[in-house]
Every structure is written in C-alpha cells, then in structure tokens.
Amino acid sequence: MRVLTGSDVLKKNFDSSVVTIGNFDGVHRGHAELFRQVKAACVQRGLPSVVVTFEPHPLAVLAPKNAPPLITTFAQKKALIAETGVDCLAAIDFTPEFSRMPAEAFVRDILMGCLGMRHIIIGHDYAFGKDRQGNQKTLERLGKEYGFTLEDISPVGEGRTIFSSSLARRLISRGDMPAATGILGRYHVISGTVVHGREIGQTLGFPTANISTCNELLPPDGVYAVMVAVDGRILQGACNIGNNPTFEGGARTIEAFLLDFSGQLYGHEIAICFVQRLREVMKFPDVAALITAIQQDVATTKSILAAADQSLIKPLFSPERIGE
C-alpha cells in the first residue's frame, strides 16, 4: 500500500481513482466492509483505490476537550488498512487552516485534482469539511458538476448492533472486551516499550513487563487475560492495569506477567491483546493474599485463553517507534 502524508498528498498523485474518506479509528468491521466495497468498485472500473483520512483526528485539533481517546494510533490504523488490500492511504495533515477549507474546494482540488477521484463511496452518515458541508447532498451536486459518481453504503452491523468506533470505544472503556472484539473483528491491542518499574514483581514470583504506550484508549483498571506479541512470538499473559494499591504510592501501570516465559524484556516492543477482563484491582491485606490472587488469575487466564480465537490476535505495534 502506498502511503501519502504531508505535502505529498497535495501533489498530483492519480489521474483517476475510487476514493473513500473517514477517520477510521479502530478500523472495525464496518470499515472493513466499506473497503471491501471500494475494492469491488475498483475491479469493476479498473481503477486504484484511495483511502483518505485525516491526521491528527479533526476533533483533537478543533475541540481537544471533546476528542475521544483513540482506539488505534496512526501506525496501527495504517497497518490495519494495508491488510485490507487497498492501494493507497492518503493522510491529510489536519490543521486549523485546513479545517477552514470549504467542502467544494476540498473535493475539487484535493480529491479530484490530487487524488484523481472518479467515484466516491462513503458510509451512511459521513460528512466532512467546514461545518460538515461535505454531506451526501453536496457530494451529489458536486458530482454532477465535476463529473464523479457517489455511492453511500448502508449501515453495517449484526443483529440490532451497528458497528461504530464510538460503540467500540464505549465497550472498551467499560471493560467489555468480548463485545468490543465483536465490533473490531479482533482483540483490542495496546503496544509499547517495556520499561522499568519498582521491581516488586519478581519478588512475588510474578515478574511483569510494564509498558509505556502511545495508545490512548486503555481498558479500565482491572486484571485481564491477554495474548502478548513478543519478539515474533505470541504468549499467554495475565495483565494488570492499575496503581497496585497493595503497595503504597504506586503510579498507574500497564503490566503483563507472561506465562511460560523467562528472560529480559526491557526496551523491547510488545503488543498486548485483550481477550477478557477477570476482576477489579484490589487492595490486599498482605503480600501473601496478593500472591494467592495472582495464582488464581493465572489459572483462570489459562482456561480462558485455551478457548481464545487465534485468528482475532492482531499484534499491532506503533511502528514509528521501531522504524517501520
């Protein structure tokens, strides 16, 4: 997949193409269906597919207080979109100045002029541009004027659930990992570098890899059964997110005890895939009680992960940090 960023998006890149446009946070199953339809339209027309997105997320620039914590980093989004087999991802630098560009100029100069748009496929409720002027009606009118066609796809979902980034965010925020997995079509993943902690873990018999992460949306504090990608391997793990209340003065950490592992991980990049929440974080009366609880967590983790669907594990790293 070709990736266009910064001023490269604003050059003449394609003579003709099929375009779709959105924020695509989480690249969930609804997005996947949209990309499938874009590729089908491309085969029919013999044209390349271009996914247009904005980076950073427009709300992070225009109304940071209302901006949601994102499910995926840009690097993770890029990896997921590349997997769908589209030809090009064009990430437009979203600046306050860009946000003032009228929808018509954006369509004519960027989508058509730089990206060669001949056909655009959008989600059922998508709108873009200054004051959300770029809605379905405007696009239809501009299509007639400038000579491109528009298709909008119906909401994608299952039963009464419509797949959306905001629903996935709500589910992750409340720790309902199986429901979030159902929307994303994969386990929610956060990645990061293993950093030093207080070195208490090894004294308990449960060393934990603590990570520093760029991912914004974390599941709530608690203990989780996870699958962890480490140096090209996928290992089972029990993950704790919280401030370790049994020990005074701890900062909030994300840490995973890896089953069937021993070795040194400081500085390594790992990706933690959340399968299921086991329990709340608790303040135990003493270290022995904490150890008994962790032993129980490990046993529960093993039985849950024995039934985990391996195909839902997507070890998504934030490759800006590892040079991809």
Footprint of ligand ADP (CB under 6 A): 194, 196-199, 201-202, 207-210, 257-258, 261-266
Backbone angles phi, psi at 305, to 5 degrees: -75, -20
Cβ-based nearer residue to ligand ADP, 267 or 323 = 267
Total residue length of the chain: 324
Q: 276 contacts which partner out of ligand FMN, ligand ADP, none, CB within 5 to 8 A by kind?
A: none
* Whether 90 contacts 51, CB under 8 Å: yes
Q: Which one of ligand ADP, ligand FMN, none interacts with residue 98, CB within 5 to 8 A by kind?
A: none
Query: Cβ 157 to ligand ADP, closest distance in Å?
Result: 38
Tell me how far apart the alpha carbons of residues 81 and 88 are, in angstroms, rounded to a whole number: 9
Strands (E), 184-294: 188-195, 209-213, 222-230, 233-242, 253-258, 269-279
Residue 53 vs 191, nearer CB to ligand ADP:
191
CB of 64 to ligand ADP, least distance (A): 32
Q: Indicate which single residue of 13, 17, 20, 240 sits in contact with ligand FMN (rule: CB under 6 A).
A: 240
| CB nearer to ligand FMN: pick between 110 and 254 | 254
Is 147 exposed, middle or buried (CB count within 10 Å of its CB: 0-12, 13-18, 19+)? exposed
Contacts with ligand FMN, 181-210, as mask; x by CB under 6 A: ----------------xxxxx----x-x-x
Q: Point out the residue whose Cβ comes nearest to ligand ADP.
A: 201
- φ, ψ for residue 23, nearest 5 deg: -90, -30
Min dist. Cβ of residue 255 to ligand ADP (A): 6
Kindly tell me the burial class for residue 285, based on how many C-beta atoms sit within 10 Å of its own C-beta (0-12, 13-18, 19 or more). exposed
Residue 323 CB contacts under 8 Å (≥ 6 apart), including other chains: none
DSSP code, position 215: -
Q: How far is the CB of 201 from ligand FMN (least distance, A)?
A: 4
**Is the torsion defined by CA of 129, 134, 57, 321 positive or negative?**
negative
Q: Given the structure tokens 């504090």, which residue do they identify?
A: 221
Closest CB to ligand ADP among 202 and 310? 202
Q: Which is nearer to ligand ADP, 202 or 311 (CB)?
A: 202
Binding partner of residue 246 among ligand ADP, ligand FMN, none, CB cut-off 5 to 8 Å per kind: ligand FMN
165 binds, among ligand FMN, ligand ADP, none (CB under 5 to 8 A by kind): none
Nearer to ligand ADP, 121 or 194 (CB): 194
DSSP letter at 6 equals: G
